[in-house]
Amino acid sequence: MSKTIIISNRLPLQLKIHDNTIETVPSVGGLATGMKSVHSQSDSLWIGWSGLTEEEFNLDLKTQVNAALKKHQCVGVPLTEDDIEGFYYGFSNNTLWPLFHYFMEYTEFEKSTWETYKMVNQKFADVVLQHIEDGDTVWVHDYQLLLLPDLIRKKKPDTSIGFFLHIPFPSYEVFRTIPCREDLLKGMLGADLIGFHTYDYERHFLSAVQRILGHEINFNNIHLDNRMVKVDSFPMGIDYDKFHNAAKTHDQKSNKEQTEIQQEINKHLKEGSNQAKLILSIDRLDYTKGIANRLRAFEYFLDKYPQFKGKARLVMLAVPSRANVPQYQKLKNEIDQLVGRINGKFAEVSWTPIWYFYRSMPFENLIDLYTSSEVALLTPIRDGMNLVAKEYIASRVDKKGVLILSEMTGASNEMGEALIINPNNFEEIADTLKFALEMPEEEQIKRNNALQKRLKRYNVEKWASDFFEALEATKNDTKKYILK
Ligand code: GDG
């Protein structure tokens, strides 16, 4: 029976060694959260890196590693420390990530990391080719594996291959600056269908293909010598019911059943004069997420509208990410300093303006935060989609709550009822915060009603099935194209 093979840099679970035994922890991040729902509901195989390098485990542990992966229908790609350094920290996160998010000043081009990137994409291809059978469908994910579609196509020309990019595709003027631009595009064009979150990213890609490779393009079809590649936008949804139902159950919990964080939140909110409304933000600690901007805008807001001192509090969860990359270490220091300075400047005995958590939290705690916060303030400078915005709305069971969202996120295209801001405009963010904190409940419900209906309909399942349907249709069109 034919199967689907999902391929991404990281598997949905990460392996760790504790007391000479293998432990599994769920992967955090947009791709993992979204695709996990798809994987658990289908008969698919997921190929990716387990989180352990080849140097980290010996032969004794190998059986345990394989068993842990097999249990979750996963297969590991063996990577060494040098592979991770050059491929993941190097070319993926020092070159592609900043470039695709328009951070030209952080983008480094190094021949050695490019060589490792090519070699590791080949390692992924080797593992895929060991598991692929006639009739299988392959779905490759994200910027770490841009060369993989073509590597698979070369060995298995008839396979149905889809590729989805989870981050923005930059404009031609930015993309053209990368020396290996032709190889990257050719790698992606190994797929039958290439998907992006938004029409803008799709347009940028088509323009790069036309201008750099000179292929003929007809609407969103790219004509190659012997094949046709289709390009389209598929805005990723979330597992709406999972968040909505978890929030519902959460609201019904007795005091004793509540998590420690929820009890703390309740305690603070009930303290006499301390009726502070919570303004939530959740992101990986990443310079694209506009965390420093958000803090500066919040400081500006408290300066401009001092009546909110003691009445509003920013709850900021920053999840550690790519801590080996110098830009991320610098950002962590900047944020630590900003939080310290702002708390020092405004704090009162019974009120601290910012609660800052630098860690990853279990799912139940995310739900605690989503359900307890009157406002969500998400200010990315660039973001492919931003699933947190969607998860916040899905978790508002009583439909109250206000979402403030950066216009630089893919999600802002579909969430017009949110309050949309420019993340560089502190004046606008401060005024919007005031507006949000004072918004009548009736209006909040009206806006969220529309948002929830849309999110429920275009959930992650629909996203995946739309993609698969389009992939199948493309494959059939391609057959006709070859016959002509
Ligand atoms: C990339 C693109 C695109 C966060 N903290 C914790 C935690 N999370 C989960 C959230 C959410 C996910 O991580 C973050 O998703 P985002 O979409 O906001 O951002 P990225 O990780 O940058 O994802 C992005 C996405 O891919 C999908 O295509 O939207 O633009 O950059 O699901 O809930 N989960 C847990 N603990 C945490 O502390 N359990």
Cα distance from N-terminal residue to C-terminal residue, the chain: 30
- Give me the pLDDT at residue 332, please: 96
Residue 319 Cβ contacting ligand 1 at under 6 Å: yes
pLDDT of residue 272: 43
The three-state DSSP-derived secondary structure of 396-407 is CCCCCCEEEEEC
Q: What is the pLDDT of residues 297-324, one digit of tens each?
A: 999 999 999 999 999 999 999 999 888 8
Is the CB of 365 inside a 6 Å radius of any atom of ligand 1? no
What is the per-residue pLDDT for 305?
Answer: 98
Mean residue pLDDT of the chain comes to 92
- Give the whole-angstrom CA distance, residue 353 versus residue 310: 7
Q: How far is 34 from 31, CA to CA, in rounded Å?
A: 5
% of the chain at pLDDT higher than 70: 95
Which of 317-326, 367-376, 380-389 bottoms out in mean pLDDT, i.e. has the lowest? 317-326
Question: Which residue has tokens 């600690």?
Answer: 285
Say which DSSP state 87 is in.
I
Predicted local confidence at residue 269, as pLDDT: 61
- Vertex 386 angle, CA 219 and 186, to 5°: 40
Report the C-alpha gap between 347 and 354 in whole angstroms. Answer: 9
What type of residue sits at position 332?
Answer: K
What is the rounded CA–CA span in Å between residue 296 and residue 303? 11
ipTM: 0.98
Asked if 156 and 435 touch (Cβ cutoff 8 Å), the reply is: no
Per-residue pLDDT band at 268 (split at 50, 70, 90): low
Can you give the pLDDT at residue 484? 56
pLDDT value, residue 263: 73
From its phi and psi, is residue 439 left (phi > 0), alpha (psi between -120 and 50) or beta? beta
Pocket test for ligand 1, best of 101, 284, 360, 467 (most atoms within 8 A of CB): 284
Tell me the CA–centroid distance for residue 378 and ligand 1, in Å. 12
CB-based contact 308:438 (threshold 8 Å)? no
Q: What is the pLDDT of residue 37?
A: 74
pLDDT grade, residue 239 (50/70/90)? very high
Which among 31, 33, 291, 321 is the best mutation to test ligand 1's pocket, defined by most ligand atoms within 8 Å of the CB? 33
Residue 84 near residue 76, CB atoms below 8 Å? no
Give the pLDDT confidence score for residue 481 in this predicted structure. Answer: 64
Closest atom, ligand 1, to C-alpha of 383? 30
Nearest to 385 by CA among 198, 169, 240: 198
**Is the Cβ–Cβ distance between 178 and 148 less than 8 Å?**
no
| Beta carbon of 310 within 6 Å of any ligand 1 atom | no
